[in-house]
Structure 1
Amino acid sequence: MTRPETMTATETILRARDDQSAPARPVRRRARRSWSDIAFAVWGVAVMLFLFLPIIVIVIYSFNTGRLLVSWDGFGLDAFATILEKPAIQNAVRVSLITALFAAVIATALGTLAGIAMARHPGKWTWWFLGLLLLVSVTPEIVDAVALLPFMVFLGQDLGLSMFNDGIVRLSVGSSLFATAVVSYIVRARLVGQDANLEEASADLYAKPLTTFRRVTLALAMPAVLAGFLLAFTLSLDNTVVAAFVQVSGTTPWPVYVLSAVRSGLRPEIAAVSTIMLLLTLVAFALVALVLKRAGDSATQIARTMTGG
């Protein structure tokens, strides 16, 4: 009758010994943040507000029901409804979207080939070519615009190439310059870190060069190609300076329309279309990140690919 009680007492003694022999768990104390950490956090918030507060303001004012953008009368969707009532706004948005699409196609085709060539056939010429691409990237847009206008006139009138008298063609070619350099950076960054064993294996199996390029090389670079296409599309939407120089009558893109609307006073529908453009840009960047993530890239690799690093 006393055995269960004896066993219980023994277990109690053994547990007490285990508790005494076990090392005491350190008490976690919340580390106090230094003044430098707090200062950097405050500075980071201030920088974010400096960057995004104007965008937030324009999005809020796109719901203004007033006659002018700067005078707030109330909250509503009148500005978005006005877009459907003004053919000039619809035409400007249509021209911008078509131009951005054609420019993205041109930039993707040229930039993909350039990026693959730099990644798979490196040499001294690569650094010279990268220098030229960097020159295109850092050249002020006003310089590109002043150079493109007489060049387009020369092609369209002196050489008789009538396609360069078309406004869509001019805008597409002008907008694709900077975007081509961006796509080249992205595709090169994608392929330069990948081994060429798969392409060599395809050649060893007697595959034709075009087949190897289409099924192996292009397949490896496809996430970067799609990312470059989407980025080229978004970059071509707001090429204001070049578009203002090379446009022709009847093909006024949206940035130039906004620039001319400033003279008569900005209206809420300008902010409404800008909000829609912002949403399109965010969707494009989200698709870029999704494509690269589905390809197996980490967050660091996604940032590296999108910046061409």
Structure 2
Amino acid sequence: MTATVERPTEPVTESSDAPVARRHRTPLGDVVLGIWGVAGLLFLFFPVLVIVAYSFNTGRQLQSWQGFGLDSYVNAFNNPTIVATIQVSLVAAAGSAVVSTVLGSFAGVALARRGGRWAVWLVALLGLAMVTPEIVNAVSLLPWFVTLGADWGLSIFNLGQVRLVIAHSLFACAVVTFIVRARMSGLNESLEEAAADLGAPPIQRFWTITFPLMRPAVISGALLSFTLSLDNTVLSSFVSVAGSTPWPVYVFASLRSTLRPEIAAMSTVMLLLTLAVLALVAIVLGRASRRTGDGSGLAQTLAGG
């Protein structure tokens, strides 16, 4: 008779490689903050979404919904008055972008590379230009333009486009200056000094070394200046003259009568144009950040980081 030996059974354990389901509980505070964030976004963008939705209204009045269609877009582009105001706004925005980019770029380079006691006063003046209410600038610019154009005989200041470009460039020039200054402050000057030691003249050093380094900030500043000029209503309403009415002033004047869906349709087009320009700014700064590895995105550049 053979004896059998029973071996103690080992408890079966789960393999360490097997996934173990775990329940993660979300704190109540995170849920509340998430709901609050969504509510804030809806509060900010719900009016814009309403305008976009009513731009497809086929009725004669904006606030009276009659049906869905593209009639408002067709009527807007076939309206010569609306098209003329859009052209005035685009030309003024392009001129403002050019003027503010040229002046702001050189001012930003000067502040970053050759700062001194005067730099503090210049930064203070630029900051004052950014925080001064638009109504104050508008009230002060109007008699100045009248004095230059009528009293002094400088007829160029009687042109509505010239007035719009100068007025819109006041704020945009300060924005471009701070963007370029932030960009140049984070870059080493050794390459420019090496080019100077090799005998490169100042103009050649600027175009071959300095300008390529500051190009992302210059492009971003120009695009932001363009978008800032498109929606400037207060300054435009004061300095514009007959025959050069920009789009924001036309919309503001239309409030006195019945708003039509054509205004919502063209406003939607301008909104898409602004979003496209801002997206291009983000792309330019993002590529520059990846190229230099300094992590300077749009917010960091505007803040001077």
Q: Does the 8 A contact of 1:230 with 1:285 survive in 2?
A: yes
Q: Does 1:29 align with 2:55?
A: no
Residue 153 (structure 1) aligned to one of 146, 149, 155: 146
Q: Does 1:69 align with 2:59?
A: no
Note the alpha carbon deviations across 1:250-301, whole angstroms, 9 max, x for none: 1111001001111111110000110000010011011111112222347653
Deviation at 1:36, TM superposition (A): 1.1
**Partner in structure 2 of residue 180 of structure 1:** 173
Separation in 1, partners of 2:45, 2:194: 49
Deviation at 1:126, TM superposition (A): 2.3
Identity %: 55
**Partner in structure 2 of residue 166 of structure 1:** 159
Deviation at 1:25, TM superposition (A): 7.6
Q: Which secondary structure does the structure 1 equivalent of 2:235 belong to?
A: helix
Note the alpha carbon deviations across 1:52-103, whole angstroms, 9 max, x for none: 1111111111111011110000000011111132111111111000000001
Q: Does the 8 A contact of 1:66 with 1:74 survive in 2?
A: yes
Q: 1:308 and 1:169, CA in 2 relative to 1: closer, same or farther beyond 3 A?
A: farther
**Partner in structure 2 of residue 100 of structure 1:** 93
Residue 300 (structure 2) aligned to one of 289, 301, 304: 304
Q: Does the 8 A contact of 1:227 with 1:306 survive in 2?
A: no
Q: Does the 8 A contact of 2:289 with 2:297 survive in 1?
A: no
Q: Does 1:84 align with 2:116?
A: no
Q: 1:111 and 1:28, CA in 2 relative to 1: closer, same or farther beyond 3 A?
A: farther
Separation in 2, partners of 1:47, 1:164: 44
Q: Does the 8 A contact of 1:182 with 1:308 survive in 2?
A: no
**Partner in structure 2 of residue 5 of structure 1:** none
Separation in 2, partners of 1:221, 1:177: 21
Deviation at 1:23, TM superposition (A): 6.7
**Higher relative helix content:** 1
Separation in 1, partners of 2:214, 2:54: 41
Separation in 1, partners of 2:276, 2:16: 54
Q: Does the 8 A contact of 1:65 with 1:79 survive in 2?
A: yes
**Partner in structure 2 of residue 211 of structure 1:** 204
- Count of residue pairs the alignment pairs up: 291
Residue 42 (structure 1) aligned to one of 32, 35, 60: 35
Instruction: Give the alignment of 1:131-150 within 5 angstroms.
Output: 131-150=124-143
Separation in 1, partners of 2:282, 2:23: 36
Show structure 2 runs of 5+ residues with no match.
1-9
Separation in 2, partners of 1:196, 1:24: 54
Instruction: Give the alignment of 1:237-256 within 5 angstroms.
Output: 237-256=230-249
Deviates more, 1:286-295 or 1:175-184: 286-295
Deviation at 1:307, TM superposition (A): 4.8
Deviates more, 1:121-130 or 1:265-274: 121-130
Residue 219 (structure 2) aligned to one of 226, 231, 237: 226
Q: 1:308 and 1:70, CA in 2 relative to 1: closer, same or farther beyond 3 A?
A: farther
**Partner in structure 1 of residue 5 of structure 2:** none
Q: Does the 8 A contact of 1:64 with 1:79 survive in 2?
A: yes
- Root-mean-square deviation (CA, aligned residues, Å) is 2.0
Separation in 1, partners of 2:16, 2:273: 58
Separation in 1, partners of 2:277, 2:77: 24
